[in-house]
Amino acid sequence: MGTNYDWGVPDGLIIINPRGLSKTAMPSYRDNSEVGRPAVWTSKFGSVTFNQYGREMPFGGINEAGLVIGTMGLFKKNKFPTPDSRPSIFMQQWMQYQLDNHDSVVEVVHSESQLRIRPKKGVHIHYLISDNDGNCGVIEFIDGKQVIHVNETMPHKVLTNSTYDDSLRFLEKNKTPDPDRFKSIDRFILAANILNNYQLEALESPLDFSFDLLKSVSWTARRERWTSRTVWSIVYDVNNLQIYFRTFANQEIRSINLNAVDFSCDTPAKVLDVNADLSGDVTDKFFAYTRQLNRDLTANAFNKTVYLPKLPDEVFDAIARYPDTFVCDR
């Protein structure tokens, strides 16, 4: 599974998240109206995630069972479920919850009955997931309901920034809408056609093919005070539990071997700068996570995102402290 992160903030940390941590979902530090009862769980699996807006709030990642999950912006204004009796979790931490608890696409899909996503006003996203049995799925929330495309209802294993139904409809017509915001449909059609024409016996390796495909649909958009470009490209080898990635700041392909990672909660969480001047296998280059690193990461990302409101220091302090609440459940 490969994914591009097209965004205006290039900075980030790769985080090793231990298994065996007891957690309570992050509270809302600005508006508690939709929190209700927060989710509580103990992480069953360790994972490696790519984070920008704080620990536990990944852009995507993979766990030691081979479950991969990622997110993308959704141009359609999706609506998450209204508050009910289910425990809630913030929409970004929902991904960490899935990596902590599940090993298959089916389990992720079925978790909707036990867990309610808590949205962030003005932010619209959808999710792409895969597992090491070759299953792939899209999860979207439209008009307050979960919309799922899995396996046979997902004939083209591609996702951009439009709903899967809209993307599929235009692919079948082999045309793009006018306007096609940031060429979302155009990129979907291009990626689907490239993927469908790939031959397993081709000379190009699956890894090279994946990076070439991601490059073919990379995107740069410029607005006032904001340039969005492909800042990260990540390829997950779910069967061999390897991560390969490169960034706009460092085009060298680097790799992480999950088989060599100690996910025990007796070992503290570790991190690595996603743009570090490294190459090759970087599994042994991770260093100890600290609260200050988390605060710096979060404040940097929020302050560089020009359309987000400026948050007071005490909010960044609270977000930075949040992982201190985790307990190692040996």
Q: What is the pLDDT of residue 31?
A: 58
CB atoms within 10 A of CB 73: 15
The per-residue pLDDT for 83 is: 86
- The third-level CATH classification (topology) of the domain covering 2-151+236-328 is Penicillin V Acylase; Chain A (3.60.60)
Q: Which tokens sit at 197?
A: 């024409």
Instruction: Report residue 55 as tokens.
Output: 């620990």
In a structure prediction context, what are the per-residue pLDDT tens digits for the chain, which is 330 residues long? Answer: 999 999 999 999 999 999 999 999 998 876 555 678 999 999 999 999 999 999 999 999 999 999 999 999 998 877 888 889 999 999 999 999 999 999 999 999 999 999 999 888 778 999 999 999 999 999 999 988 999 999 889 999 999 999 999 999 999 999 999 999 889 999 999 999 999 988 767 767 899 999 999 999 998 888 777 899 999 999 999 999 999 999 999 999 999 999 999 999 999 999 999 999 999 999 999 999 999 999 999 999 999 998 888 899 999 999 999 999 999 987
Structure confidence at residue 308 (pLDDT): 84
pLDDT at 314: 94
Secondary-structure breakdown of the chain: helix, strand, coil percentages, each rounded to the nearest 5: 30, 30, 45
Where do the domains of the chain lie? Answer: 2-151+236-328
Residues 293 and 151: their CA atoms lie apart, in Å, by 39
β strands within 131-253, DSSP E? 136-142, 145-150, 221-223, 226-237, 242-247
What pLDDT, on the 0 to 100 scale, is given for residue 306?
87
Of 178, 142, 183, whose CA–CA distance to 160 is shortest?
Answer: 183
pLDDT value of position 310:
87
